[in-house]
């Protein structure tokens, strides 16, 4: 199948891997931002095939994982109201809140429904005018256009029984935080191709220049990732900085201008709390004032709810690439996919889940 088979070709992957081994002359640390890339790396054994000199650092690009605990607790509080239907992507249902998760709340009678698009949540509101429908709007730049469209459409139709509990993040501020940290070990980045599809990579150019790092947008298949690693290594070895687009079949410098315009109409930049990391200034978006009637946090007055994080969970350090999951004392013991302490153990893009599924024995 075009654009799939050729990016999973073992012979092509071996050739790129040989080029990587021939190119590296000293140790380098490279961070892949996206949790989808992390799973592909671990599932395909890429981290074990690379030369020992190359250290892959797993970044905070799992939207479920960085959704703060207070957002989960607020969603649970809203979901327990008898008049509310809480709509969410399925991977949020098992993420632990302070006391329970949304799946448990549903088993106790809360009307929690899995949807695959915010427009599905909008349809539920349209079909159930006697119910209040709240969509748990999480994600990075990739989900923001759909969430913005849902709010715009609700406003257009006058669907006042629809609202969103927003927890939206942006990747570049997180990269700056990592590069500014005293514990910084990252020397180059694989940027998330699907994020750059929306945003383009123009903003990454100033980051590369300021922090003197190469940044390479790439995809998720083994050949994509190996090609991205090779490009980063070649740039590091030659002393070149800047951005090189290794995902040109999908990504352009400008991104999707229509999607960006829609997001900017509905949302504005704001500080955002990241689970396990803390507040990163100007790293998120929130609904603009003219759309405040669709803001579930205000509508249900849940901003005061504060979380109770497990002291055993070191997911914040995992998300920043400071430690690998195996270095957490609770990994595979107090924290498992069946009884998780943090979101990275249950998310389909979580680093801890990837290590547990593919690396636990190793």
pLDDT digits (tens, 9 = 90+) for 140-180: 999 999 999 999 999 999 999 999 999 999 999 999 999 99
Q: How confident is the model at residue 321 (pLDDT cuts 50, 70, 90)?
A: confident
The order of strands in the sheet holding 267-274 is: 111-114, 84-88, 132-139, 162-169, 278-287, 267-274
State the pLDDT confidence band at 349, using cuts at 50, 70 and 90: confident
Q: Which residues contact 156 (CB under 8 A, 6 or more apart)?
A: none
Q: What is the mean pLDDT of residues 94-117?
A: 94
Domain membership of residue 197 (yes or no) is yes
- The stretches of 158-295 forming alpha helices (DSSP H) are 171-180, 193-199, 202-211, 222-238, 257-266
> How much is the pLDDT for 1?
59
Strands annotated E in 235-293:
242-243, 267-274, 278-287
CB atoms within 10 A of CB 334: 14
pLDDT-derived band of residue 362, with 50, 70 and 90 as boundaries?
Answer: very low
Q: How many Cα neighbours within 13 Å face the side chain of 241?
A: 11
Give domain status of residue 33, yes or no: yes
Instruction: Report whether 194 contacts 61 (CB < 8 A).
Output: no
Mean pLDDT of 112-137: 97
Tell whether 228 is covered by a domain.
Answer: yes
Residue 62 maps to a domain: no
Tell me which residue range forms the domain holding 232: 5-53+174-243
Over residues 188-197, the pLDDT tens digits come to 999 999 999 9
Establish if 236 belongs to a structural domain.
Answer: yes
Residue 33, phi then psi, degrees to nearest 5: -70, -40
Q: Which of 93, 90, 89, 120 is nearest to 107 (CA)?
A: 93
Burial class (CB in 10 A: 0-12, 13-18, 19+), 88: buried
Task: Classify residue 32: in a domain, yes or no.
Answer: yes
Closest alpha carbon to 150 in 184, 176, 180, 115 = 115
Provide the CATH number for the domain around residue 224: 3.40.50.11750
pLDDT at 297 over 50: yes
- The count of structural domains within the chain is 1
Strongest mean pLDDT among 126-130, 313-317, 324-328? 126-130
Confidence of residue 229 (pLDDT cuts 50, 70, 90): very high
């Amino acid at each position: 199948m075009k654009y799939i088979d050729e990016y999973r070709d073992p012979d092509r992957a071996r050739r790129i891997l040989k080029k990587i081994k021939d190119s590296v002359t000293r140790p380098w640390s490279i961070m892949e931002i996206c949790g989808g890339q992390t799973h592909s790396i671990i599932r395909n054994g890429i981290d074990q095939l690379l030369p020992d000199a190359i250290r892959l650092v797993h970044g905070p690009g799992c939207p479920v994982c960085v959704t703060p605990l207070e957002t989960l607790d607020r969603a649970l509080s809203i979901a327990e109201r008898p008049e509310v239907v809480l709509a969410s992507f399925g991977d949020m249902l098992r993420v632990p809140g302070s006391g329970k998760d949304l799946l448990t709340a549903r088993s106790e009678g809360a009307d929690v429904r899995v949807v695959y698009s915010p427009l599905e949540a909008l349809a539920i509101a349209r079909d159930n005018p006697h119910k209040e429908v709240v969509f748990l709007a999480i994600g990075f730049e990739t989900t923001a256009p759909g969430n913005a469209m849902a709010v715009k459409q609700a406003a257009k139709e006058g669907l006042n029984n629809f609202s969103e509990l927003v927890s939206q993040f942006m990747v570049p501020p997180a990269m700056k935080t990592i590069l500014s940290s005293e514990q910084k070990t990252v020397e180059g980045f694989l940027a998330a191709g699907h994020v750059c599809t929306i945003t383009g990579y123009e903003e990454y150019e100033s980051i590369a220049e300021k922090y003197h790092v190469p940044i390479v947008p790439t995809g998720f298949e083994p050949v994509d990732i190996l090609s991205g690693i090779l490009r980063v290594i070649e740039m590091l070895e030659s002393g070149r900085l800047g951005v090189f687009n290794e995902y040109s079949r999908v990504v352009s410098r400008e991104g999707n201008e229509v999607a960006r315009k829609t997001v900017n109409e509905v949302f504005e930049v704001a500080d955002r709390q990241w689970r396990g990391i803390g507040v990163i200034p100007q790293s998120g978006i929130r609904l603009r004032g003219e759309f405040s009637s669709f803001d579930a946090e205000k509508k249900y007055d849940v901003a005061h709810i504060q979380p109770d994080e497990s002291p055993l969970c070191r997911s914040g350090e995992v998300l920043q690439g400071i430690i690998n999951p195996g270095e957490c004392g609770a990994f595979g013991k107090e924290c498992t996919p069946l009884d998780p302490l943090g979101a990275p153990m249950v998310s389909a893009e979580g680093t801890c889940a990837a290590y547990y599924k593919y690396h636990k024995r190793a």
